[in-house]
Amino acid sequence: MRKRIIAALAALMLFLLGSSASCLADGNFMGAKIKDITQVEGMRSNQLIGYGIVVGLPGTGDSNKTLETVTSVANMLQDFGLKINPTTLKTKNVAAVMVTATLPPFAHLGERIDFTASSMGDAKSLAGGVLLQTPLRAGNGQVYAVAQGPIATGGYSAGGQSKNITTVGIASGGAIIERGVSDGIGQNGKIVLSLNTPDFSTAARIAQAINSSYGGASAVNPGEVDVTIPPYYQNNVVGFISNIENLSVIPDAVAKVVVNERTGTIVMGGNITVNKVAIAQGGLSINIERKTDVYQPAPYSLGSTIVTKNKSTQVKAQKASTVVLDSTADVNDVVGALNAVGATPRDIISILQAMKDAGALHAQLEVI
């Protein structure tokens, strides 16, 4: 059954690689859209953080030993005109939390975003609690949103038993954006495309594709392509970006083999080549057995019982399967040949590592 599964996976990989090769030969390969391999500079999210208090907990909050909670409650009550000695407070229904959220690009005033509240004291659970008004700041120290509302934990904690994590809760749409982020895209007459995977060839192809349709594109470095907005698109930057995002290019990729030794998973790119190499795959099985023999004396012989310890060794050598790959071989030949000799995923991992050490595999071998 295991060999059938390996054969089926290899056949599927060969079919997919063969289909890709035929598409390239026929000129029908459309490549990837620029929007799928790049992002417009300025379209980025911003992380927000704040410190808040969750109230209304059913006795699962912080203990009086959590000084930040006691101090926070006392300071909050003082803002409402109530002066209380912090040492007299009982905070089992209150928990101090850190509140985090992500401000999406092009966010505007009044929009709602999700937030996450995480206990920072010794609270047992945030289930059933309500977060009081908490300002959320960005890295520049300015407040961009305010969070408040009930928290959902998605778990429970009772009788010393808990399911899921109850000290972290979320609130869908619980934060309101108080300050927008100006995009600034195209204001200087240019846009910048950042490649998700920097590559010289891919950057050059993106610039070539844009120049063939609109002009004004240049690959500054492997990770950046600058594009000048044509005069007739100055008042329609969104339309221009939409058009260039849908242009197709064939992204280049580094020849790489990714191996997961824990699961035996192997993923190979289609642009891998090898030098001429011979591969021998076989195994040696050694089995050593120990057994104890007991010899009893004959009746009325006045002899004694004799105990001996014997061992037997059996050696089985499997016939090694040898495969020879020419220098013109690619990943199709490698997979097909290794599958033909009945190599398991574990065997293939060892063979690929040995090929890399021998200098016969022209690809990066990444073991995770």
**Which residues, 6+ apart, have CB-to-CB distance to 329 below 8 Å?**
273, 274, 337
Strand order from edge to edge, sheet including 256-260: 265-268, 256-260, 364-367
- 60: nearest Cα among 92, 38, 32, 37: 92
**Which residues, 6+ apart, have CB-to-CB distance to 102 below 8 Å?**
45, 46, 47, 48, 113, 114
**Which residues, 6+ apart, have CB-to-CB distance to 121 below 8 Å?**
61, 62, 63, 66, 68, 69, 95, 96
pLDDT above 90: residue 297: no
pTM of the shown model: 0.61
Instruction: Please report, for residues 79, 91, 105, 188, 365, the alpha-carbon distance to residue 87 in angstroms, rounded to integers and kept in the order given.
Output: 18, 11, 45, 59, 61
Dist CA 31 CA 215 (whole Å) = 20
Query: DSSP alpha helices (H): ranges in the chain?
Result: 2-26, 34-37, 67-79, 200-213, 237-245, 331-340, 345-357
Q: What is the pLDDT of residues 316-365, one digit of tens each?
A: 555 555 556 565 566 666 667 666 666 777 777 777 788 788 887 788 88
In this prediction, residue 312 carries a pLDDT of 57
Instruction: Please report, for residues 66, 82, 98, 140, the alpha-carbon distance to residue 73 in angstroms, rounded to integers and kept in the order given.
Output: 11, 11, 15, 27
349 dihedral zone (left: phi>0; alpha: psi -120 to 50; beta): alpha
Of 14-23, 49-58, 80-89, 236-245, the least confident: 14-23
pLDDT above 90: residue 207: yes
